């Protein structure tokens, strides 16, 4: 359950934001006596009585978020230990929808898959479309559909690892759900985080979504082949990103043409 945006899975089994508080009056006012009598707790059923305490709601919400993230972080550490024990390098790849994550992974698998075993965890709300694209490369892949959820969580990652069973000393890409907000909050047990943006999205993305860029280890500016045709300033975007995270590595490339792709492979090798 995401306490930031209120999303959750469709089964209703995950933690939900506590909208129901002790003053919900569980009896639905179906008193067997008529309502034309005067009783001391007179209320006109608009519930405008002094139970309005937004500070308590805020406290409950913050406490719940802390508990959700603490539970997630504990599972993430277990995932990290499991991956480290096998020598699996896990990279969490995050972006908004349409940035070219899947195309980048397809090309990466084709180019370096012969040197090192690669597997992929695909995260989407619905469909097997991206998983089928990855499978077509010959790479092992597991699809995680989050339903109404807007990000992967460490527990989902644990289940995906169980199903995928990546080989020792292999490379694992986690293609997170397309979203530049909530995935930044949820550690999955990965070694590093990669944020992909495209030149068609706008130069100001790091300023609009600072938490995502603050959590990243690498930012890839994709679709560089379109730079002559769009209004995107790579230098200014880099300045914005490093104002949020001074240690960010920035790589500009085109997953379609291969321009600059060697820098990406060098970065992976150094991980």
Q: Distance from CA of residue 228 to its chain's centroid?
A: 31
**pLDDT tens for residues 195-252?**
999 999 999 999 999 999 999 999 999 999 999 999 999 999 999 999 999 999 999 9
**pLDDT tens for residues 119-178?**
999 999 898 999 999 999 999 999 998 877 789 999 999 999 999 999 999 999 999 998
In this predicted structure, the answer to whether residue 70 has a pLDDT above a threshold of 80 is yes
Of residues 152, 32, 49, the one with CA closest to residue 93: 152
**pLDDT tens for residues 74-105?**
999 999 999 999 999 999 999 999 999 999 99
For residue 251, the SS3 value is strand
- Does the pTM surpass 0.75? The reply is yes
Whether the CB-CB separation of 63 and 5 falls below 8 Å is answered with no
Structure tokens that stand for 224 in this block: 């560089």
Strand locations in the chain (E): 89-95, 118-124, 140-145, 171-175, 192-198, 218-222, 249-252
pLDDT of residue 146: 85
Share of the chain above pLDDT 70, in %: 76
CATH of 68-270, one of 3.40.50.11860, 3.20.20.80, 3.40.47.10, 3.40.50.300: 3.40.50.300
pLDDT of residue 18: 19
Mean of the pLDDT values across residues 174-186?
A: 93
Measured CA to CA, the distance from residue 262 to residue 104 in angstroms comes to 12
């Amino acid at each position: 359950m995401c306490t930031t945006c209120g999303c959750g899975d469709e089964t209703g089994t995950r933690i939900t934001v506590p909208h129901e508080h002790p003053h919900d009056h569980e009896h639905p006012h179906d008193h067997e006596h008529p309502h034309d009598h005067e009783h001391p707790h007179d209320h006109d059923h608009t519930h405008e009585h002094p139970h309005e305490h937004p500070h308590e709601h805020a406290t409950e919400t913050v406490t719940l978020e802390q508990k959700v993230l603490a539970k997630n972080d504990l599972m993430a550490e277990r995932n990290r230990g499991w991956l480290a024990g096998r020598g699996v390098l896990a990279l969490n790849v995050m972006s908004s929808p349409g940035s070219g994550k899947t195309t980048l992974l397809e090309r990466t698998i084709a180019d370096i898959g012969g040197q090192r075993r690669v597997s992929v965890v695909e995260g989407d709300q619905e469909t097997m479309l991206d998983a089928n694209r990855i499978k077509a490369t010959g790479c092992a892949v597991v699809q995680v559909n989050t339903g109404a959820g807007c990000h992967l969580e460490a527990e989902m990652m644990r289940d995906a690892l169980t199903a995928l069973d990546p080989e020792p000393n292999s490379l694992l890409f986690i293609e997170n759900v397309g979203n530049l907000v909530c995935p930044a909050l949820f550690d999955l047990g990965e070694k590093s985080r990669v944020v992909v943006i495209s030149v068609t999205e706008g130069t100001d993305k790091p300023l609009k979504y600072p938490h995502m860029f603050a959590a990243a280890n690498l930012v890839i500016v994709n679709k560089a082949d379109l730079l002559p045709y769009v209004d995107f300033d790579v230098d200014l975007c880099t300045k914005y990103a490093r104002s949020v995270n001074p240690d960010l590595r920035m790589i500009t490339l085109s997953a379609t043409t291969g321009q600059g792709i060697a820098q990406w492979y060098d970065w992976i090798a150094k991980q």
